[in-house]
Amino acid sequence: GAVVSQHPSRVICKSGTSVKIECRSLDFQATTMFWYRQFPKQSLMLMATSNEGSKATYEQGVEKDKFLINHASLTLSTLTVTSAHPEDSSFYICSARAGNEQYFGPGTRLTVT
């Protein structure tokens, strides 16, 4: 089956710094990737839709200048959390679309101290 990877799996950073999370489709090309955020003991909330070669589409309430998304190739999308604060600590999960199927990455746990 299709595999999606995320790197890093865990990251701890200091408040005010920026963190980049990578999402890769390993054995297929994904014109569309999605980024989700999951707070402790809560469900996943869609943050944005990332389309290769164009600007991401953000969901209502998600700050596009804080969560920078780049989808530079058909196998890679990146999410950069800029000027991270403790309230950004969360589990970030990406998914990649292949045809009518969607495959989720294993997630990245971000802790901002």
Partner 1 sequence: AQSVTQLDSHVSVSEGTPVLLRCNYSSSYSPSLFWYVQHPNKGLQLLLKYTSAATLVKGINGFEAEFKKSETSFHLTKPSAHMSDAAEYFCVVSRPLGANAGKSTFGDGTTLTVKP
Q: Which residues bind partner 1 (CB under 8 A)?
A: 32, 34, 36, 42-46, 49, 93, 95, 97, 100, 102, 104-107, 109
CB of 68 to partner 1, least distance (A): 20
Give whichever of 20 and 109 is closer to partner 1, judged by the CB atom: 109
CB of 83 to partner 1, least distance (A): 26
CB of 92 to partner 1, least distance (A): 11
Name residue, tokens 């209502």.
60
DSSP label at residue 59: P
Residue 112 buriedness (CB in 10 A; 0-12 / 13-18 / 19+):
buried
Which residues does 19 contact at the CB level (< 8 Å), separation at least 6? 11, 13, 80, 81, 84, 110
Give whichever of 13 and 45 is closer to partner 1, judged by the CB atom: 45
